[in-house]
Amino acid sequence: MKKNYPILFVLLFLPALLFAQVDETEDEFEDFDISAYEEAGGPVKVFCNNKVAGQSPTQLISIAYDVQLNSELTASAVAGAPENTAPINSISGYRIVSNFPILSRNNILINFGLNYMQSTFNYGEDPIYENPFLQNLNDHTLRSINANFTIFKPLNEKNFLLAQVAAELNGDYSFSNFQSLQHTRFPIALMYGWKNNDRTMFGIGASRTYLGGALNYLPVIYYFKTFNDKWGLEALAPARAFLRYRFNSQSLMTLGYQIEGATYRLNNFPTYALPEVVEDNIELRRSELRFRLSYDRSLKDFIWFSFQAGYRVNWLFSVDQGEFFRGFDDSDFFMENELTNPLFFQFSISLVSP
């Protein structure tokens, strides 16, 4: 932010210049008694806010390009089709993330977010595979649309509630052949927290989530801590945790991990490979753990650029039947597939809040 030194100079010295003048009405105010006036109301209740000092800028809208380098995908045998392994040149796609306040008061903050993500599996020479799962990913892009409300409700100057309710539609659909809304999934999280000072926020809660690929119910820990002018920690475990280093007000670096995952409906899975009992009920359970280093810098005012580099570890990439609570049970999938682990890079440009 530019320093307005001329304006600051005027604000500092203007009162001195005014009071240096002779006040011809001075006698009229000699008997002024402030005790004769009553307060307009009682003391104002103080609420904590939703940030700690020095934390990473809050993105209002971000556009990113994400690419994973070469890997291999092995799909298990199904319906007479053999097990196949496909070399993948890259997995790439665009991401759009938005997060706008729709109600902002000192006693409540409600944000609305609308996000889009796509993943295209680039096999290279457009091969034809006997395995229907490999062919499906070769022919169709995986897409995810997520709409969410985040509610921060301070209870007083030290305690708060934090909740997020989302609706997401994930699958191998196209915009010309859109997926039925009846397959919408609903992640939910709720936390109770404490803010002891401007440098520390802590919360605990529970979530209904698909980050592990399948539906699960997990505890959630929220911990934002600024240790000094340079170092800090930002964690929403188990989903993500980053160690933050701030070079100055215009640039920072983070190091940590993030889990990405969802369940994707496979609308285009070849029906010849499906028994009638599971036909039109096939979903990909996808989850990955990303270890990454990120550098963020302001290009101009509130426009920021970010570059990420890291290593993606596959957690789950198997095919299942419908939506149900699986927990941590990793047995009896319709197809148990393996995806090797590549390096990944992500470039983004964002508009951040002041």
| Residue 29: pLDDT over 80 | no
Predicted local confidence at residue 340, as pLDDT: 97
| Residue 19: pLDDT over 90 | no
Range 100-108 average pLDDT? 94
Would you place residue 273 in the very low, low, confident or very high pLDDT band (cuts 50, 70, 90)?
low
Would you place residue 36 in the very low, low, confident or very high pLDDT band (cuts 50, 70, 90)?
very low
Number of other CB atoms surrounding residue 53 within 10 Å: 12
Would you place residue 8 in the very low, low, confident or very high pLDDT band (cuts 50, 70, 90)?
very low
| Residue 24: pLDDT over 80 | no
| Residue 5: pLDDT over 60 | no
Predicted local confidence at residue 275, as pLDDT: 64
Predicted local confidence at residue 44, as pLDDT: 72
Higher-confidence position of 10 and 332:
332
| Residue 117: pLDDT over 50 | yes
Predicted TM-score (pTM) of the model is: 0.83
Range 228-244 average pLDDT? 96
Q: What is the mean pLDDT of the chain?
A: 87
Higher-confidence position of 229 and 271:
229
What percent of the chain stands above pLDDT 90?
72
Query: Where do the domains of the chain lie, and which CATH numbers do they carry?
Result: 59-352 (2.40.160.40)
Range 60-82 average pLDDT? 93
| Residue 38: pLDDT over 60 | no
172-219 pLDDT, tens digit per residue, is: 999 999 999 999 999 999 999 999 999 999 999 999 999 999 999 999
3-state secondary structure the chain: CCCCHHHHHHHHHHHHHHHCCCCCCHHHHCCCCHHHCCCCCCCCCCCCCCCCCCCCCCEEEEEEEEEECCEEEEECCECCECCEEEEECEEEEEEEEECEEEEEECCEEEEEEEEEEEEEEECCCCCCCCCHHHHHHHHCCEEEEEEEEEEEEECCCCEEEEEEEEEEEEECCCCCCCCCHHHCECCEEEEEEEEEECCEEEEEEEEEECCCCCEEEEEEEEEEEECCCCEEEEEEECCEEEEEEEEECCEEEEEEEEEEEEEEECCCCCHHHCCCCCCCCEEEEEEEEEEEEEEEEEEECCEEEEEEEEEEEEEEEEEEECCCECCCCCCCCCECCEECCCEEEEEEEEEECC
| Residue 64: pLDDT over 70 | yes
Would you place residue 323 in the very low, low, confident or very high pLDDT band (cuts 50, 70, 90)?
confident
Say which range, 40-54, 110-124, 192-206, has the weakest mean pLDDT: 40-54
